[in-house]
Amino acid sequence: MVEIGAPKDIQKLYNFVDDVSDSELFETWKPKIRAYLADLDKEAIEEYRVPSTEVPKDLDEKSFDTVEFLNETKHLSEEEKRITDSSVVDIEKEIASKKLSSVAVLKAFAHRAVILNQFTNFATQFFIREALTKAQELDDYISKTGKTVGPLHGIPISVKEQIGMAGKVTHGGWVAWLDFIPKEDATTVKVLKDLGAVMYVRTNEPQTLMHLDSNNNITGRTRNPFNSILSAGGSSGGEGACVGGRGSAIGVGSDIGGSIRAPAAFCGAWGFRPTTRRISTAGGVSSGKGQETIVAVEGPLAHSAEDVDYFMKSYINSGKPWEEDPWCIPLPWREVAKPKASDITVAIIYDNGLVAPHPPIARGLNAVAEKLKAAGVNVIKFEPLEAEEAYDVCCQIYTCDGNLAQKAMLKPSGEPLLPLTKWAFSMGNGDKALSIIDNRNLTARRDNLRKVYNDYFVKNKVDFIISPTYVGVAPCTVDDGIAGPFFWGYTSLWNILDLPTLVAPTGLSQDPKIDTPNKDYKPRSYVDKIEQNKYIPELFEKAPICLQLTGRRYFDEEVVAFGELFEDVMNA
Amino acid sequence: MVEIGAPKDIQKLYNFVDDVSDSELFETWKPKIRAYLADLDKEAIEEYRVPSTEVPKDLDEKSFDTVEFLNETKHLSEEEKRITDSSVVDIEKEIASKKLSSVAVLKAFAHRAVILNQFTNFATQFFIREALTKAQELDDYISKTGKTVGPLHGIPISVKEQIGMAGKVTHGGWVAWLDFIPKEDATTVKVLKDLGAVMYVRTNEPQTLMHLDSNNNITGRTRNPFNSILSAGGSSGGEGACVGGRGSAIGVGSDIGGSIRAPAAFCGAWGFRPTTRRISTAGGVSSGKGQETIVAVEGPLAHSAEDVDYFMKSYINSGKPWEEDPWCIPLPWREVAKPKASDITVAIIYDNGLVAPHPPIARGLNAVAEKLKAAGVNVIKFEPLEAEEAYDVCCQIYTCDGNLAQKAMLKPSGEPLLPLTKWAFSMGNGDKALSIIDNRNLTARRDNLRKVYNDYFVKNKVDFIISPTYVGVAPCTVDDGIAGPFFWGYTSLWNILDLPTLVAPTGLSQDPKIDTPNKDYKPRSYVDKIEQNKYIPELFEKAPICLQLTGRRYFDEEVVAFGELFEDVMNA
């Protein structure tokens, strides 16, 4: 085992009773897991795969760069590489003008996805044959009518497994849910299919859906496509690996504490956490139904800000999700032009005062500040604002029911608890359920925080805030996640505030030679110490450096438009 | 005492312990109440009042029609009557074109309000002198600049007392809150002032804010302006009486179970419960902070649908409440044309299957159906849909904390509990607090109901639903509210569904000769029996008949536009 800086005495922070795992009971579920995995194997079309001899046996011991492999392999044709390197916007243009067929596009992405999965284990389910039939129907439609069925006609979209699909097992990472087969598609699946999207793969997630990593007792751990010993993030880690490795044109994840953004950032993708009630979450499996203090969202992981914009516009303006799900607000997606650099003010969170970012993230923040300034942006420093208060409320809310809902979903299978599940159960007050009055008080504290941050934007005329997504780049999670992400405070801040937040790649990646540890840093807390101890520069080579861009509530369009400017500036 | 059909054995439904009232303790608060009332008396400008000899001594024993009195009294000048009979839209035009001064407009409404208050006891606080200074400043501004400060320049607006005002006692009907003086205006007050509104009166509400009547231990009971023995409704009953009696150009109330709509309907006014998050509720006193399953809203009580539209448009598009309160969605108020009668389908709830409407309401529903049909509207019957389920969830949510928050607000004063407080405390599970998991389950049931109703609209292509506001017209509440409104199901349905709902006067009113009791009706439940027993036709003479118009979530603009058509059709 490589030294990964795992905390040695994390148990002292545990704040729960394991009254759910039961190894005998779990044995009885193993045949079901094996059947599920056999189906996954069967549907990962044989002829799409690379020979198993090309897949290193030591992916979990030694860094392997799958993206580089995919870019160089001869198993993908040049045309397949061209297609999978294209944006959704460009693919859609080629499909609409009949330069590309939906079948060709699907084959390219599915082929790449199957290979990517051999290395990263990002998929929970393939159904490529079914998708090919659908793609053929779309091709027939366009050749008959000359029109596309909708703005996502023929776009291969990956979807986090937790989002229900009719007739397909939807377990959400809970072993006991392997029996659950929804009768109807989740609203988002329905909307996307109606717009012409083609679905062919569902993606991995962690046990409980409450890790910023993706490991569970069904499909196991998803590897980072840039470095196989690192985490692909979570809870939408399958999406992170899939989109980061270009196994899909665009993907859909969900996020209540960082679950779209950590995977996007760890895997070098764009990832958007919209404001609540713009994208439907109806029809997803989770433990949090009815918890409304911090509300989960769904949103895209993508290859560019432009694709995020196209997805959101298509989903909202053409998809009209409120016809299906009255939780969604009939608020059109506005056309917002890329801002002029000299017109905007950006505040940067260099450090939230609780846990300092690791050297590569600090370097990323500084590089971004310099480039934005050079482009004419008014860049200011964001002084930490109620970060501790915000994190305290988040942690208490995540476990406010005393882990009862989670345990009720785990218990029927007796599955063992993974290290990051133990951590998630220990947040806030752990197993101690709060009263309704306690919960209301937390909600009132949340509202106060929202007011404080809204005032910050309005009174200081700040347009956007840039912040780390996580303390570091993707952490190493080879040992069941024991050195995984513990501190969620940089992402969960935007969940509690419900502010639209876009993860944007900086184009930079970790370099052990430059990003040397800061030996003078004195950890401010035990959790800070855990996070700092994990920074062993050699582990993280090639891990992408991605940051969060945040704007005001329901100013989602402005945030994405700023993402386009950010992309220009960083590429310049 | 007149026979009012009060339930004789309501105690058997009580489901709480009175561990708050304490008569000795309450004695110590009486000086504070007296001081508060003395201030109210002092600020109800002496020379605006009619001689006390003109105010009947037996208002609580014998029906008195204050509206008729005001229309005929010589104490109001013809010009004052003309102004107070005008719409907000017309007043604003006259102010903008300098035909009317803000001071003249304020004087007219304040004069009428002071007289109206002598009969109906709708006000908790006047501050007319302060308002006259503000009105003079507005007049100076317009004469200096030629412009108005905003779309509500010089409009006299009444505000429910529970909505906080800087520097003014804000008690919300709780005696113990007589010490509370907010430092800042509530967001809605701030927004309206910025738009040029003039505030001069705050209005009455019930103990706990959870009655559909308005009686408390501070200012007592508000009387219906059309019939003094009847209820003005609640909890925004002061607003109902004030707007119904034209003591203000427009007013602001709040609503979590019918609290804008019952007063509007009982007092013959228009009243709008917008979808949540369009009008800010920040800065109001209530027991429900952080309760998010059924969320309170603020909204206008007005003299016409056109005025409701003008208020909403001004508040949202010019007021931009999201700059102050990030809870509000930056969703512009859309210009929606009055629909063509033949283009729409309207479903009518004649009876929700739980408690049948009294004869005058049934007559109103039939008259509306006939008139709409004659105008070309496609009118269909709405078959009861999950009414029992919806009401059960509502009642459980209203008391989900086991009345703890309410009791914490009552206890410091030891004030006695009024009959309708005892009823409110007995809803759902009464004093038994639910767990967070119970609450989440109720929230999930709520979401299911929202889906069922949204599907009803979409799949049946129904544009609007018309329903009773309450079982009857305004009930008689002379005896501390013991014969007050018990069944909230017709209004609370739209709260749990969060659908925009406009109360619209039909132009009809109760007539004991026509609206004779239905002797064959068999009550379906004990609560139904209570409600039916109260129907003693002679009590309700002249009580207005108003109905609810409901549309889809966030289709607020369409509902108000339909209100304009409804007005045309009913007046035709």
Task: Using DSSP bridges, classify how beta strands B227-231 and B270-273 pair: parallel, antiparallel or unpaired.
Answer: unpaired
Cβ-contact B473, B544 below 8 angstroms? yes
Give the Å distances, CA to CA, from B1 to B6, B61, B476.
Answer: 12, 7, 12
- For residue B440, list chain A residues with Cβ-Cβ distance below 8 A: 289-291, 401, 405
Out of A101, A231, A235, A426, which one is annotated catalytic?
A235
User: What number of other Cβ atoms are within 10 A of residue B151's Cβ?
Assistant: 21
Active site annotation includes B228: no
Chain centroid to CA A192: 18
Cβ-contact A387, A465 below 8 angstroms? no
Residue B1 maps to a domain: no
Find the residue in B nearest to A449 (Cα). Answer: B326
pLDDT tens for B257-304 read 999 999 999 999 999 999 999 999 999 999 999 999 999 999 999 999
Interface test with A, best of B291, B333, B440 (most A CBs within 10 A): B440
The Cα diameter of chain A in Å comes to 69
Facing residue for A436 by CB, picked from B327, B400, B497: B400
Rounded to 5°, angle at Cα A91 from A89 and A95: 120
CB-based contact A552 B454, cutoff 8 Å? no
Facing residue for A289 by CB, picked from B331, B444, B458: B444
Structure tokens of A256? 């209540």
CB-based contact A443 B555, cutoff 8 Å? no
Rounded to 5°, angle at Cα B84 from B80 and B87: 140
Looking up tokens 């109760």 gives: B510
Give the Å distances, CA to CA, from B13 to A159, B177, B423.
Answer: 51, 29, 8
Residue A284 maps to a domain: yes
Q: Which domain holds residue B499?
A: 10-48+65-571
Give the gap in angstroms from C-alpha B405 to the nearest C-alpha of chain A.
8
What pLDDT was estimated at residue A133? 98
Task: Of B146, B132, B66, give the one whose Cα is nearest residue B104.
Answer: B132
Q: Which helix or strand (DSSP H or E) is residue A239 part of?
A: helix A237-244
CB-based contact B290 A443, cutoff 8 Å? yes
- Return the SS3 of B465: strand
Give the gap in angstroms from C-alpha B85 to the nearest C-alpha of chain A.
37
Cβ-contact B51, B119 below 8 angstroms? no
Cβ-contact B342, B565 below 8 angstroms? no
Sheet hosting strand B198-203, strand order edge to edge: B123-126, B198-203, B156-160, B250-255, B297-302, B270-273, B501-509, B544-550, B464-468, B345-348, B378-381
CB-based contact A326 B553, cutoff 8 Å? yes
Residue A1 confidence class, pLDDT cut points 50, 70, 90: low
Give the gap in angstroms from C-alpha B323 to the nearest C-alpha of chain A.
7
Q: Which helix or strand (DSSP H or E) is residue B115 part of?
A: helix B102-120
Out of A259, A280, A314, A509, which one is annotated catalytic?
A259
What pLDDT was estimated at residue A3? 87
Q: Is A358 exposed, middle or buried (0-12, 13-18, 19+ CB in 10 A)?
A: buried
- For residue A454, list chain B residues with Cβ-Cβ distance below 8 A: 322-323, 325-326
The CA distance from A11 to A17, in Å, is 12
CB-based contact A325 B405, cutoff 8 Å? no
Residues that constitute the known binding site of B for substrate = 209, 235, 256-259
The CA distance from A516 to A501, in Å, is 29
Residue B53 maps to a domain: no
Task: Using DSSP bridges, classify how beta strands B223-224 and A544-550 pair: parallel, antiparallel or unpaired.
Answer: unpaired
CB-based contact B436 A439, cutoff 8 Å? yes
Alpha-carbon torsion (A6, A11, A13, A16), positive or negative: positive
Per-residue three-class SS string for A430-451: CCCCCEHHHHHHHHHHHHHHHH
Find the residue in A nearest to B329 (Cα). Answer: A554
Facing residue for B554 by CB, picked from A289, A292, A330: A330
CB-based contact A440 B400, cutoff 8 Å? no
Q: What is the CA radius of gyration of chain A?
A: 22
Out of B107, B160, B313, B534, which one is annotated catalytic?
B160
Find the residue in B nearest to A278 (Cα). Answer: B329
The CA distance from A557 to A560, in Å, is 5
Low-confidence ranges of chain B (pLDDT < 50): none
Task: Of B31, B235, B41, give the one whose Cα is nearest residue B126.
Answer: B41
Task: Of A282, A312, A319, A327, give the one whose Cα is nearest residue B552.
Answer: A327
Interface test with A, best of B324, B436, B452, B497 (most A CBs within 10 A): B436
- For residue B451, list chain A residues with Cβ-Cβ distance below 8 A: 282, 325-326
Cβ-contact B387, B353 below 8 angstroms? yes
**DSSP string covering A275-328, please?**
PTTSS--TTB--S-TT--SS--EEEEEES-HHHHHHHHHIIIIIT-GGGT-TTS
Query: Which residues lie below 8 Å from residue B456, measured CB to CB, with a gap of 6+?
Result: B385, B462
Above pLDDT 70, what percent of chain A? 100
Structure tokens of B15? 């489901």
Facing residue for A289 by CB, picked from B292, B433, B440: B440
What pLDDT was estimated at residue A526? 95
DSSP letter at A358 equals: P
Cβ-contact A327, A290 below 8 angstroms? no
Which residues of A touch chain B, with CB atoms under 8 Å apart?
Answer: 282, 289-293, 322-323, 325-327, 329-331, 400-402, 404-405, 433-437, 439-444, 447, 450-451, 453-454, 458, 497-498, 552-555
Structure tokens of A433? 């359920």
Give the Å distances, CA to CA, from A112 to A48, A117, A227, A234, A303.
Answer: 8, 8, 17, 22, 15
Alpha-carbon torsion (B147, B149, B151, B155), positive or negative: negative
Q: What is the CA radius of gyration of chain B?
A: 22
Q: Which helix or strand (DSSP H or E) is residue A565 part of?
A: helix A556-571
Structure tokens of B25? 């303790």
Residue A53 maps to a domain: no
The CA distance from B415 to B421, in Å, is 12
Active site annotation includes A259: yes
Structure tokens of A370? 């310099």
Q: Output the domain CATH number for residue A166.
A: 3.90.1300.10
Structure tokens of B267? 């007092």
Residue A520 maps to a domain: yes
Mean pLDDT taken over chain A: 97
Give the gap in angstroms from C-alpha A401 to the nearest C-alpha of chain B.
6
Out of B86, B228, B259, B509, which one is annotated catalytic?
B259
Residue B485 maps to a domain: yes
Facing residue for B441 by CB, picked from A290, A327, A402: A290
**DSSP string covering B515-549, please?**
S---TT---SSHHHHHHHHT--GGGGTT-EEEEEE
Q: How many domains in chain B? A: 1
| φ, ψ dihedrals at B115, nearest 5° | -65, -50
- For residue B289, list chain A residues with Cβ-Cβ distance below 8 A: 440, 443-444
CB-based contact A293 B292, cutoff 8 Å? yes
Q: Between chain A and chain B, how many beta carbons pairs sit less than 8 Å apart?
A: 114
pLDDT tens for A292-334 read 999 999 999 999 999 999 999 999 999 999 999 999 999 999 9
Residue B333 maps to a domain: yes
pLDDT tens for A54-98 read 999 999 999 999 999 999 999 999 999 999 999 999 999 999 999
DSSP letter at A472 equals: S
With a threshold of 0.95, does the pTM exceed it?
yes
Residue A235: cis peptide before it, omega within 30 degrees of 0: yes
| φ, ψ dihedrals at B495, nearest 5° | -70, -45
Out of B63, B214, B235, B248, which one is annotated catalytic?
B235
Q: Which residues pair with B505 in a beta bridge?
A: B546
CB-based contact B322 A291, cutoff 8 Å? no
DSSP letter at B213 equals: S
Cβ-contact B182, B170 below 8 angstroms? yes
Q: Using N-to-C axis directions, what is the helix angle for B88-96 and B102-120, rounded to 10°? A: 150
Residue B57 maps to a domain: no
Cβ-contact B255, B481 below 8 angstroms? no
Give the gap in angstroms from C-alpha A399 to the nearest C-alpha of chain B.
11
Interface test with B, best of A400, A403, A438, A440 (most B CBs within 10 A): A440
CB-based contact B454 A325, cutoff 8 Å? yes
